[in-house]
Amino acid sequence: MTAAIKKRTAAAALLLATLAAIVGGFMLPPIPQSLSYHHFADTRTLLDIPNFWNVMSNLPFLFVGVLGLVVVVRGVNLGGLPSLRTAYGAFFIGIAMVCFGSGYYHWSPSNATLAWDRLPIAVSFMIFVGIVVGEHINERVGRAIILPLVAVGIGSVWYWHYTEGLGRGDLRLYGLVQFLSLFVVAIIFVAFPSRLTGIGYLWSMFAGYAAAKVLESLDAVVFGWGELMSGHALKHVAAAAGMYCLVLALRHRRVKGEHAR
């Protein structure tokens, strides 16, 4: 079996597994948003800003988004594929928007404001999936699926918010957008070698995300350690640090086989 046939077979298997996971996800009962989600350990108001640290800890997203966009726009020795340059830029715009969406939510936590928090997150996740497909499997396919994936990401937030308004909230689609996309990306990392060096930068993004989820689950525990910052505030910092790894990747990666410049 040639390498090309193996790659097509693996891609078909991944697609089937993804479709099976989607069908399985919707066989579960609807998952409403727990109102306890909006109760955070650190509710201090400073400088007339409610929930100060949960709001202000989103600033690293803006920093990373702007810095990444500058790297993409300058494009000098860009450590990515030229055909995906627009996708890289769109991803960093999405990350910058997380700062404002999450900041708005944490200023006044509710289901209504949570939708604005989740929207840029879902969009960024979907763009990243397209980037990974482009870098590891096929550039043309990666570019082609980004807009449909973004539509799915936006639709997942809209669907959850709409069903909450009907009194029967359903997070299943949004959960698939976030967690299934991470699973798919991890499988792609393992099964489809990138044309670029430095896969460790992208695995580091996973590490940042994993650390963020751990900190989120330990919100009150971390806040109890001196009441300086809560786990949720540090979650934002850890997640932004993970996104910064893509900035480093675009600075330092090279197409495999190229001589160092």
Using one digit for the tens of pLDDT, what is the confidence trace for 136-181? 999 999 999 999 999 999 999 999 999 998 988 899 999 989 888 8
Picking from 16-20, 96-100, 234-238, which range would have the lowest pLDDT averaged per residue?
16-20
Amino acid at 236: H
Q: Tell me, letter by letter, the H, E, C secondary structure of 104-146.
A: HHHHCCCHHHHHHHHHHHHHHHHHHHHHHHHHHCCHHHHHHHH
7 pLDDT more than 80: no
| CB-count burial class (<10 Å; 0-12, 13-18, 19+) for 62 | middle
Domain ranges of the chain: 43-195
89 pLDDT more than 90: yes
pLDDT tens per residue across span 241-257? 999 999 999 999 998 87
105 pLDDT more than 80: yes
Mean pLDDT (whole number) for 90-99: 98
Q: Where are the alpha helices (DSSP H) in the chain?
A: 3-26, 52-56, 59-74, 85-107, 111-136, 139-165, 172-175, 181-191, 199-217, 219-223, 231-252
4 pLDDT more than 70: no
Mean pLDDT (whole number) for 87-116: 97
- Mean pLDDT of all residues belonging to the chain: 91
Comparing 258 with 255, the larger pLDDT belongs to: 255
pLDDT band at residue 23 using 50, 70 and 90 as cut-offs: confident
